[in-house]
Amino acid sequence: MEFDSPYGNKYADLLSNVSNFNIIESTLREGEQFANAFFTTESKIKIAKMLDEFGVEYLELTSPAASEQSRQDIKAITSLGLNAKILTHTRCHMDDAKIAIDTGVDGIDCYWSSSYLNFLSRKGIEVRFSSEDSFRSDLVDLLNLYKTVDKLGVNRVGIADTVGCANPRQVYELIRTLRGVVSCDIECHFHNDTGCAIANAYTALEAGATHIDTSILGIGERNGITPLGGFVAKMYVADKRYVSSKYKLEMLREIDNVIANEVEIGVPFNNYITGFCAFTHKAGIHAKAILNNPSTYEIIRPEDFGMTRYVSIGHRLTGWNAVKDRVEQLDLVMTDEEIKAVTQKIKTLADIKPLGIEEVDTLLRDYHREIYGRNQ
């Protein structure tokens, strides 16, 4: 059953970009700053290809001036001929700019220097200017600075919540104000120290931002930035058709698993979409409703992401409707009264310990034979 979220972008707003945004995927830049991260050239190429196939519009890579290996890695990725534009992050030093241009990148993210910005513009490089710690900066100074660089012809200005202190209301007010000052695109980079990175990213788009930085599983400095999966989940709920048409959603689980293995962590149990219990239903009332109409307790369709819904029944909270569904899956024939009776057996045993699905199946088959005979 198709289900349109009531929380989508229902009201026309000419400045909102909820249905018109770009992802700047920064796993290979911000993600390299994660405590456990060490990506080999082969790993970077694999990650870049996966993200490109997924459909992100930009890949941001570590500065080629950081190390010789970083420079070689960027050259290797720019030579792949990916659809995604390749960006790198540099200081406003001419030497850094020349090194970056030599690697073949499509764009450079940088800090303040008018001569540096003019140099990059003459080279035909896409340029984003950003300040750090935007939400703790003086607003008048910030707006004057961005107004000036906008006139210099940058492609984007960047707002960065470097310490993760901003809340959605602050984000909306700053981005909407900035939108009235600059004509260029607006990129946003949100750290997740206080748990607002996804909400802030969504609110920024509502206010007129155009580009959002993400990383796979949110990895980055400290506790990271806006996670790719969580951001995609939020945008899917806002405009399912738009997001489904842009991104290869069924790849998300593979992408999360690859990065989890690379940085030697587990995918969190409650991870957006790909956590092991993201689509698990347990309580009896929930299970009954889900079996009748999944949209009653699911805002996201698991099948759109290549995921599977699971109704847990081997526990004391189980309901007979969930058990009935399992009976039918096993091709057993029982009356509703018989199913209610075997459900009570399951609940009694589960008061001692949870039952695995194999144990439940054995109990159901044994009960069926007990009633109908071994040859039925």
- For residue range 116-135, list pLDDT tens digits in order: 566 666 777 888 888 888 89
| Domains of the chain, each with CATH number or no CATH | 22-262 (3.20.20.70), 280-372 (no CATH)
- For residue range 175-227, list pLDDT tens digits in order: 999 999 999 999 999 999 999 999 999 999 999 999 999 999 999 999 999 99
For residue 3, is pLDDT > 50? yes
Q: How far is Cα 346 from Cα 199, in angstroms, rounded to an integer?
A: 41
SS3 label, residue 2: coil
Structure tokens at 305: 């992401």
Please report, for residues 106, 160, 305, the alpha-carbon distance to residue 297 in angstroms, rounded to integers and kept in the order given. Answer: 43, 35, 17
CB 123 within 8 A of CB 99: no
Confidence (pTM): 0.88
For residue 247, is pLDDT > 60? yes
pLDDT of residue 115: 53
pLDDT of residue 119: 65
- When pLDDT is cut at 50, 70 and 90, the band that residue 91 belongs to is confident
A 10 A CB-CB count for 120 gives 25
Average pLDDT over residues 256-261: 98
What is Dmax (Cα atoms) for the chain? 88
More confident residue, 234 or 138: 234
CB 330 within 8 A of CB 362: no
Lowest-confidence range among 15-19, 35-39, 213-217? Answer: 15-19
pLDDT of residue 214: 99
Give the Cα-Cα-Cα angle 256, 29, 133 (nearest 5 degrees).
110
Average pLDDT over residues 155-175: 95
224 phi, psi to nearest 5 deg? 90, -165
Average pLDDT over residues 49-59: 98
- For residue range 320-344, list pLDDT tens digits in order: 988 998 999 999 999 999 999 999 9
Single-letter code of the amino acid located at 324: K
Look-up of token digits 């209301």: 169
- When pLDDT is cut at 50, 70 and 90, the band that residue 374 belongs to is low
pLDDT of residue 375: 46
Q: How far is Cα 215 from Cα 14, in angstroms, rounded to an integer?
A: 28
Look-up of token digits 């990175």: 197
Nearest C-alpha neighbor of 184 from the set 211, 162, 166: 211
- When pLDDT is cut at 50, 70 and 90, the band that residue 291 belongs to is confident
Please report, for residues 17, 63, 126, 165, the alpha-carbon distance to residue 109 in angstroms, rounded to integers and kept in the order given. Answer: 21, 9, 8, 22
Tell the burial category of 11 from Cβ atoms under 10 Å away from its Cβ (0-12, 13-18, 19+). Answer: exposed
Please report, for residues 36, 97, 341, the alpha-carbon distance to residue 288 in angstroms, rounded to integers and kept in the order given. Answer: 42, 60, 17
286: annotated active-site residue? yes
Nearest C-alpha neighbor of 187 from the set 236, 137, 126: 126
For residue 258, is pLDDT > 90? yes
The residue from 89, 189, 281, 286 that is catalytic is: 286
Q: How far is Cα 87 from Cα 81, in angstroms, rounded to an integer?
A: 14
SS3 label, residue 13: coil
**Average pLDDT value over all residues in the chain:** 90
